[in-house]
A and B are shown apart, each in its own frame.
Chain A
């Protein structure tokens, strides 16, 4: 079946540090890939997505590239801010219209000033 593996946290960084959160997946067919973010006390928000191989999703300074050859979708940001502190979830979408999301377990990021 489908699965998503992302690096376990917690991850603690200083402001302006470089961020990478690794995500790899196992899936049949051609899934879409997503990163969701959950800020403290808030609901899940779609951060970025990529729908086919070699697509790059980007938003708010975050980027991730859909790598079919390595089945990966690593999240990166060049310079993190305190406001980026949150839990980040990698997910893949399967089924028609990629409706069914399979999530990784989440990575807690804390950014210190």
Chain B
């Protein structure tokens, strides 16, 4: 079956621009997660959705970062006024209840 998909796979943007990253979870998975993978910080948790609600946003690095999920399915991570330190691979994962998350291929964001 189809796994987690993310788009775009690569995004290059200028400092100060806004970007939107999209995640399509595995069909039927109620939980959705965003992580960030960078050389300096490794893999970091950003936000967790259960359905359309986000009970844990504690990993979002600043108020420039926001995320939403609609219809219990697709999620969008938005970064406003991008900075060079936002350059990273943004990973989405989904799961049913219980441990074990399935990751998408990621979006590589480069801020120039």
- A: residues with CB less than 8 A from B are 32, 34, 36, 42-46, 49, 51, 89, 91, 93, 95, 97-106
Q: List 14 A-B contacts (CB under 8 A).
A: A34-B99, A36-B103, A44-B93, A45-B103, A51-B99, A91-B43, A97-B97, A97-B98, A98-B99, A99-B50, A99-B95, A101-B35, A101-B101, A106-B43
B45 within 8 A of A: yes
Residues of B within 8 A of A103 (CB): 42-43
Q: How large is the interface on B (under 10, 10 to 19, 20 to 34, 35 or more residues)?
A: 20 to 34
Interface residues of B (CB under 8 A from A): 31, 33, 35, 42-43, 45, 48, 50, 56, 91, 93, 95, 97-106
A-B contact count, CB below 8 Å? 52
Enumerate chain A residues within 8 angstroms of B35, measured Cβ to Cβ: 101
Say yes or no: A43 contacts B104, CB within 8 Å: yes
Contact among A36, A44, A93 with B99 in the assembled complex (CB-CB below 8 Å): A93
Q: Are B97 and A42 in contact (CB under 8 A)?
A: no
Contact B45 A101 (CB under 8 A): yes
Which one, B93, B99, B102, B105, contacts A97 given CB within 8 A? Answer: B99
Residues in A whose Cβ lies below 8 Å from that of B106:
43
